[in-house]
Each structure stands twice: as structure tokens, then as C-alpha cells.
């Protein structure tokens, strides 16, 4: 770790960075506040949201980070003239008037479900039927009947955002979101240029010392900040800014071949990236060693953080994804059980059948007979 006594520019750099981030954050929050007021006006014009408990909708809800699916049943929502579910006219109208993305959420046991949105997934489609999990700070705030305002991770990027509760019959039954994507332009222009060569060297040393672990780098930078007695009242803005700075630094190093260049990786969400990588490469060599290398972690650290993030070990996650994919393929009449076994990455039919039965309680052949 660099010695703060031998880095005279670091204190000034971090103070300037904090000031820059604070200004950007304040400007973004003003924009979000204005967007929320316009959104509330449009919502008011549409009329109160009501629910019809006699008309239920079955939904396959997807966790916005892990992608894991849950079957849920929700009552139909409507206003005086229109159904709310899957009607994106209102959220698109808000975006046209404010340039903010917006979403209507409905409460489900797992968290809050997007039922109308113009937030997009990586494939460019609307993030309908994805949900924010119940452990999210956003959900915990809204369930208390309060509006959450601040930085939030929305599907695949960081946003300055506001989430306001939707009350039906005096209870929090949903929430409304508006948000503006965080921009890195000003930070990149000011802090990753030749004038800050010493800072780039500090980042390089920190990354090398911490095996490219950005979380450890952020912690050490904040430690350096406090060592030099620069103690802002709140460091959450600084922490986010350092994450952004490190993302840009990773990108710069990646251009020189030091790190993998991948959009999701550059967003700092390595575990989301590795989950998506597994889903897209089920027939690949998905060993702990190879997966850990993909996101520049040691094997023990990768195993630990993966299990904390997904609630499963990497191999449990891989098996689940393979079995779920197998279910899709078994519905194709032309596909045999053996074909499906190899198509999803297993090289032993008996083991595949055993794993399938563990998950579903019956064999792939029994499943195929029911579905085909």
C-alpha cells in the first residue's frame, strides 16, 4: 500500500475528486427531483391506481441481478381508464418530458416487480417482470412508507434515482421510480489524464498489490483519504466516485491488454457478468479456476463472494442453470435425453438424470413425456 506521507498530491487529488463528485451528485439529484414532480403530475392526471383482487395475473418474475425465476400471482392494477400492467404509455410520456427513465413497481413476496418501465436490459428489451429483491435498501425504505432518494443500481447500471411508495387502501402496494444514469465524463476528463500521472501510478500499485480487486482498492483509497485527515461528513458519494474512477482506470488498463474488456465488467459488476457468462457458456470448461480468472480473483475469494452474492456455490449455480436449460430443450420433440445432456454441458447421461431428478423429483424422460 502506498505511504500517504510519500504521496503529497493524494490529499489534494481526493479533496478535488470529492468536490467534483458532490457537485455532480447535487446536480443529478436536482434533475431527479424535477423529474419526480413531473411524474407525480402525470400520475395524478391518470387517476389513482386501483387493484382488482378478482382478476389475477400469473408472472414469471426474474431477479434483476441473478436472473433466477419465481412464479408469482399478482392482482390486476388499473386507473380510471386504463390497465397499468404492461402499458408503457405513461412511463414513456414521463421520459419524453424529463429525459429520466421511469418504472411502476408492484409489491410481491420477493420484492418489487416492474410492471411498466422504460428501463432496458442488456439485450435492449424493456425490463418488464424483473424485480428488485426485498433485501435492497430501496425496498427497505419504501416499505416504511418513505421515499428513497440517492444512488441505486438499476438492472445494469448506476442511477441517481427516486423511489416513491404507491399506497392502495392505506398500504404500500408498490412504488414509482424515476432516475438519471450516472455519468463518468467529467471524472474521466479531469482525473485520468497525463497531469495526474502520479495518481495513475498509485492506482496501478494498488491494483497490483490487491490482485486487481477493485473493492480492496476502494477501501485502501478511503483509508489513505482518512489518514491524510480529509474527512468529509459522508463518504458514500466518494465511495461511488472512486468506484467510477476505478472503472475508468480498468478500462484504460484493458486497452493495454492488462484486463478483460467487457461492458458489464467495466460497470464494476463482476459477479453479474460471471453469472451471465455461465448462462451463455454452459458447455464450456466452467471450473472454479477458469471462472475466477475471468474476473481476476483468487479461487478462495471467488468461491466466497460468489456464494454470498447468489446464495449458492458456483457448481450449484451451474447445475441449476444447466437443468433449467435442459427443461427448455426437452420440450423439443426431436431432442433426445442424450442430446439434451450434452447440449447443456454434461458429459455423463447418468449424472445428468440424477441431477435432474434432484431438482424436479422425476426423470428427464418423465418430464419429456408430460411436455411433448
295-332 residue pLDDT tens: 777 788 888 888 888 888 999 999 999 998 998 899 88
Question: What is the C-alpha separation between 14 and 190, in angstroms, rounded?
Answer: 12
Largest CA distance in the chain: 72
Percent of the chain with pLDDT over 90: 32
**Cα angle, residue 259 at apex, residues 256 and 264 outer, rounded to 5°:** 120
pTM, full prediction: 0.53
Judged against a pLDDT cut of 60, whether residue 254 lies above it is answered with no
Question: What is the C-alpha separation between 168 and 175, in angstroms, rounded?
Answer: 11
The pLDDT assigned to 167 comes to: 96
Q: How many CB atoms lie within 10 A of CB 180?
A: 19
Grid coordinates of 298 = 483468487
Q: Please report, for the chain, the start and end positions of each structural domain, with discontinuous segments joined by +.
A: 47-181
DSSP 268: T
Judged against a pLDDT cut of 80, whether residue 257 lies above it is answered with no
DSSP string, 282-299: TTS---HHHHHHHTT--H
Judged against a pLDDT cut of 90, whether residue 170 lies above it is answered with yes
Select the more confidently predicted residue: 342 or 273: 342
Domain 47-181 CATH (choose: 1.10.1740.10, 2.40.420.20, 3.40.50.300, 3.30.450.40): 3.30.450.40
Helix (H) or strand (E) holding 54: strand 50-63
- If you average pLDDT over every residue of the chain, what do you get? 76
The pLDDT assigned to 164 comes to: 96
Judged against a pLDDT cut of 60, whether residue 206 lies above it is answered with no
Q: How many residues does the chain have?
A: 372
Judged against a pLDDT cut of 60, whether residue 6 lies above it is answered with no
Q: What are the backbone angles phi and psi of residue 262, rounded to the nearest 5°? A: -145, 135
Q: Are 30 and 23 in contact (CB under 8 A)?
A: no
Q: What is the mean pLDDT of residues 104-132?
A: 91
Q: What angle separates helix 270-280 from helix 299-310, to the nearest 10 degrees?
A: 90
Amino acid at each position: 500500500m502506498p505511504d500517504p506521507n510519500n504521496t503529497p498530491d493524494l490529499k489534494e487529488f481526493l479533496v478535488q475528486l470529492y468536490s467534483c463528485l458532490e457537485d455532480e451528485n447535487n446536480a443529478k439529484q436536482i434533475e431527479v427531483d424535477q423529474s419526480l414532480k413531473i411524474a407525480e403530475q402525470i400520475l395524478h392526471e391518470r387517476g389513482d391506481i386501483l387493484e382488482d383482487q378478482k382478476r389475477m395475473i400469473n408472472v414469471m418474475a426474474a431477479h434483476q441481478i441473478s436472473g433466477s425465476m419465481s412464479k408469482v400471482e399478482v392482482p390486476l392494477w388499473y386507473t380510471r381508464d386504463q390497465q397499468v400492467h404492461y402499458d408503457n404509455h405513461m412511463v414513456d410520456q414521463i421520459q419524453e418530458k424529463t429525459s429520466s427513465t421511469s418504472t411502476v413497481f408492484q409489491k410481491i413476496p420477493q420484492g418489487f416487480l416492474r410492471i411498466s418501465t422504460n428501463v432496458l436490459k442488456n439485450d435492449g428489451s424493456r425490463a418488464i417482470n424483473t424485480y428488485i429483491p426485498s433485501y435492497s435498501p430501496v425496498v427497505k425504505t419504501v416499505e416504511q412508507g418513505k421515499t428513497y432518494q440517492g444512488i441505486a443500481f438499476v438492472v445494469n447500471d448506476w442511477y441517481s434515482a427516486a423511489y416513491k411508495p404507491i399506497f392502495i387502501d392505506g398500504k404500500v402496494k408498490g412504488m414509482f421510480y424515476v432516475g438519471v444514469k450516472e455519468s463518468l465524463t467529467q471524472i474521466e476528463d479531469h482525473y485520468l489524464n497525463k497531469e495526474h500521472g502520479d495518481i495513475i501510478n498509485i492506482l496501478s500499485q494498488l491494483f497490483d498489490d490487491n490482485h486487481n480487486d477493485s473493492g480492496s482498492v476502494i477501501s485502501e483509497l478511503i483509508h489513505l483519504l482518512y489518514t491524510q485527515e480529509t474527512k468529509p461528513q459522508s463518504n458514500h458519494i466518494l465511495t461511488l466516485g472512486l468506484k467510477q474512477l476505478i472503472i475508468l482506470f480498468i478500462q484504460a488498463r484493458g486497452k493495454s491488454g492488462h484486463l478483460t474488456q467487457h461492458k458489464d465488467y467495466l460497470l464494476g459488476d463482476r459477479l453479474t457478468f460471471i453469472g451471465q457468462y455461465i448462462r451463455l457458456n454452459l458447455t464450456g470448461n466452467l471450473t472454479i479456476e477458469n471462472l475466477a480468472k475471468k474476473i481476476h480473483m483468487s479461487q478462495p475469494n471467488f468461491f466466497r463472494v460468489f456464494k454470498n452474492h447468489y446464495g449458492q456455490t458456483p457448481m450449484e449455480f451451474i447445475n441449476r442453470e444447466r437443468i433449467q436449460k435442459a427443461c427448455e430443450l426437452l420440450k423439443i420433440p426431436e431432442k433426445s435425453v442424450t442430446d439434451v445432456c450434452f447440449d447443456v454441458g454434461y458429459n455423463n447421461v447418468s449424472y445428468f438424470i440424477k441431477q435432474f431428478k434432484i431438482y424436479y423429483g422425476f426423470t428427464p424422460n418423465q418430464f419429456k413425456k408430460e411436455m411433448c
